[in-house]
Chain A
Amino acid sequence: EAAVTQSPRNKVAVTGGKVTLSCNQTNNHNNMYWYRQDTGHGLRLIHYSYGAGSTEKGDIPDGYKASRPSQENFSLILELATPSQTSVYFCASGPDRGRSQNTLYFGAGTRLSVL
Chain B
Amino acid sequence: GEQVEQLPSSLIVQEGASVLINCSYTDSASVYFPWYKQEPGKRLQFIIDIRSNMERKQNQRLTLLFDKKTKHLSLHITATQPGDSAIYFCSASTGAQGLTFGLGTRVSVFP
Q: Which residues of A contact B (CB under 8 A)?
A: 31, 33, 40-43, 45, 48, 50, 56, 58-59, 90, 92, 94, 96, 98-109
In whole angstroms, what is the CA distance A33 to B91 when docked? 15
Question: Once bound together, how far apart are the Cα atoms of A59 and B49, in whole Å?
Answer: 23
User: Does B44 reach chain A (CB closer than 8 Å)?
Assistant: yes
Distance between Cα atoms of A55 and B95 in the complex (Å): 16
The residue among B29, B32, B45 with the most chain A CB atoms within 10 A of its own CB is B32
Residues of chain A within 8 A of B42, CB atoms compared: 108
B43 at the interface (CB under 8 A from A): yes
B34, B96, B99: the one contacting A98 at CB < 8 Å is B96
**With a CB–CB cut-off of 8 A, which chain A residues contact B29?**
99
> CB of B98 within 8 A of chain A?
yes
Measured CA separation A99–B9 after assembly (Å): 27
Known: A100-B31, A100-B32. 14 other contacts (CB 8 A): A33-B98, A41-B103, A42-B101, A42-B103, A98-B96, A99-B30, A99-B32, A99-B94, A100-B51, A102-B93, A102-B95, A106-B36, A106-B43, A106-B45
Chain B residues within 8 Å of A, Cβ to Cβ: 1, 29-32, 34, 36, 42-46, 49, 51, 89, 93-104
Tell me the complex Cα distance, A50–B96, Å: 8
Asked whether A31 and B96 contact (CB < 8 A) given A42-B89, A102-B34, A106-B44, the answer is yes
User: When A99-B30, A100-B93 are in contact, do A109 and B43 touch as well, CB less than 8 Å?
Assistant: yes
* CB closest residue in chain B, given A45: B98
Residues of A within 8 A of B30 (CB): 99
Complex Cα distance, B87 from A90, in Å, reads 15
Q: How far is the CB of B30 from chain A (nearest CB, A)?
A: 7
Pick 12 A–B contacts, CB within 8 A, sort by A.
A42-B104, A50-B96, A56-B97, A58-B97, A90-B44, A94-B98, A98-B96, A99-B95, A101-B32, A102-B95, A104-B44, A109-B43
- Contact A45-B97, Cβ < 8 Å, known A99-B29, A100-B32, A106-B43: yes
